[in-house]
Amino acid sequence: MAYDLAAIRRDFPALDLKIHGRPLVYLDSGASAQKPRRVIEAMAEGYAHEYANVHRGLHYLSNLATEKYEGARAVIARFLGAAHEDEVVFTTGSTESINLVSYGWAAPRIQPGDEILLSVMEHHANIVPWHFLRERQGAVLRWVDVTDSGELRYDQLEAAIGPKTKLVALTHMSNVLGTKVDARRATEIAHAKGVPILFDGSQAAVHGPVNVAEIGCDFYAITGHKLYGPSASGALYGKQERLAEMRPFKGGGDMIREVTLENVTYADPPLRFEAGTPPIMPIIGLAEAIRYLEGVGMAEISAHEARIRDLAREKLSALNWIEVQGDAADKGAIFSMTMEGAHPHDMSTILDQSGIAVRAGHHCAQPLMKRFGVTATCRASFGMYSSPEEVDALIAGLKTCRRLLG
């Protein structure tokens, strides 16, 4: 089936906006994606006519909300290729998911000198929770480098895993470089030495099919707002045996089995990790976003974005005054750029005047910025709705930046 880009673009109301009198060219999907109309409508209908708190209520609205909320667990499990629905823990996004693993699984196992292994291209969400363990329990953070083109150094990964390594935690796709990590290869390296592995799938899960069973990983985090769903939604996949090993992260309703004056017993996973009133409608909205993605086809989305990537790569390479950080062969459609004599913030401001939305800054990846010798970049990140015409608009906008700033 042909990829109907025009129909997809019509599904996203934000793409009809005019910014400073110019059509919006939204190239900031790597930070947060726009939402299709059906996600917006599903949440609006839920708040208007289907809302009640979930679990334990015996009235119609509570049963309806619970059915839709728990139905989202099956949708996410299918989307990730999980073997069991109860391997999916609802969270507010990847940041909470990674913190849950840090506090619930890793912290009880860390003694002074024990190691967490990371790559230099991690988002801060997959760095700071491990620094907590360094500060509080004496953990040691060890780092795997990338090549100058942005590829993970698998030789370093294998060499760095030692008897004190408790966990490997890697991005599946860099939000700065677009580098795609070979997750199965990394998992096999870790598991060969008896070490569990976590993947931050915030970027990767948006851009192509993910199957955690095939990868074999122990944990996998996704975030809803990058998956064309609402903010404050996300999930953690964890193997059943790993979730069973974890202590609760937060205390409150839904995560308990029984509470007495003297004691408390906890629910089985995943409810053990879902304390309090959850983000009901955001989770329902996330499930609707995933259904939308599956309707288009993740393989088809990946192929479309590869075409956009190749076009952008070709046209950017002709601008010898633009430097793109990282050029891995199978990178995603993410381009982090610098221009001699121009600050990325100034580039972003000028592009905005033409209706072009990009991101400027360190992208919550300061160790990676240091690795490539920059303090900030101007990042254009494409999505399922991006068009060849938007690539042309970006190139024209960069030429304007050159004229005004160069």
- Residues serving a catalytic function are 364
Q: Which residues neighbour 266 within 8 Å (Cβ) at sequence distance 6 or greater? A: 248, 255, 256, 257, 272
Q: Please give the sequence-ordered ranges of beta strands (E in DSSP) within 138-216, or none if there are none.
A: 140-144, 165-171, 197-200
Both structure tokens of 393: 């608009």
Other Cβ atoms within 10 Å of 38 Cβ, number: 16
Q: Please tell me what DSSP assigns to residue 146.
A: B
Using CA atoms, how far residue 102 sits from 117, 243, 255, in Å, is 13, 12, 18
Both structure tokens of 186: 């990394």
Q: How far apart are CA 188 and CA 153, in angstroms?
A: 15
Q: How far apart are CA 329 and CA 178, in angstroms?
A: 10
Q: How far apart are CA 69 and CA 74, in angstroms?
A: 10
Q: Which residues neighbour 225 within 8 Å (Cβ) at sequence distance 6 or greater? A: 32, 33, 93, 231, 232, 233
Q: Please give the sequence-ordered ranges of beta strands (E in DSSP) within 224-287, or none if there are none.
A: 234-238, 256-259, 264-266
Q: Please tell me what DSSP assigns to residue 246.
A: P
Burial class (CB in 10 A: 0-12, 13-18, 19+), 236: buried
